[in-house]
Amino acid sequence: MNSTPLVNALDIIATLAFALVGARVAAAKGLDYAGILLVAAMASLTGGTFRNIFLGDRPPWILHGWLFLAVLLAFLVTISAKMTQPVGRLMLSLDTLGLAVATVSSANYAIALHAGFIGAVVLAVLGAVLGGLLRDLFCQVEPVLLHRETIGTSCFAGALLYVTLNHFNVSSAVCAIAGGFLVILVRELSIRFDLHLPKVNP
């Protein structure tokens, strides 16, 4: 099944955002050009790949080769600007935008392929967070997803709102705006006030 126009537009935005952050993290860890390009591609394409595979469809980069242009652009920006400093507030905001867009895109696509309520929520979260998880693992840094900034919680909240609104036949545009805004709101609040999920204290 072909992607909807909304999914196509959102995928290119999320790909560029995640690729920029991935390339920046890789450069900050001292990876060479090949490593930076690989991490940028993995960070930006993994989520959509798994989303589509779980739905029985081909990965988006096979259907739409122009997604690689976003990865290449992020790579060129990173190496030309010599971005080797640790990820700062701007990159965190860009990553948050990518999470919001990827959550909405994945929820929309899952629903378009007739996923159930729970399945659509789970796929929306996976589509948003898997790339960042692999990015951190390949760069040998502690995965942000697993210990701070409520990334998974933010995406879950946005996905749940999107799928719930869709269940009540709210328009796709309203679902996308509301779901994406909630992802951004929850994560930005968690960064601003240093909010985290509870941990087991020894």
Per the domain annotation, does 59 fall within a domain?
Answer: yes
Structure pTM? 0.90
Per the domain annotation, does 202 fall within a domain?
Answer: no
Q: In a structure prediction context, what are the per-residue pLDDT tens digits for the chain, which is 202 residues long?
A: 456 677 778 778 899 999 999 999 999 999 999 999 999 999 999 999 999 999 999 998 998 888 999 999 999 999 998 877 766 778 888 899 999 999 999 999 999 999 999 999 999 999 999 999 999 999 999 888 887 668 999 999 999 999 999 999 999 999 999 999 999 999 999 988 888 888 887 7
The dihedral sign for the CA sequence 181, 184, 187, 190? negative
Q: Is 65 helix (H, G, I), strand (E, B) or coil?
A: coil
Measure the CA–CA gap between 102 and 111, rounded to whole angstroms: 14
Per the domain annotation, does 201 fall within a domain?
Answer: no
What is the number of domains present in the chain? 1
Per the domain annotation, does 141 fall within a domain?
Answer: yes
Measure the CA–CA gap between 55 and 74, rounded to whole angstroms: 28
Per the domain annotation, does 81 fall within a domain?
Answer: yes
Per the domain annotation, does 51 fall within a domain?
Answer: yes
Per the domain annotation, does 200 fall within a domain?
Answer: no
Query: 52 is in which domain, residue-wise?
Result: 5-192
Per the domain annotation, does 173 fall within a domain?
Answer: yes
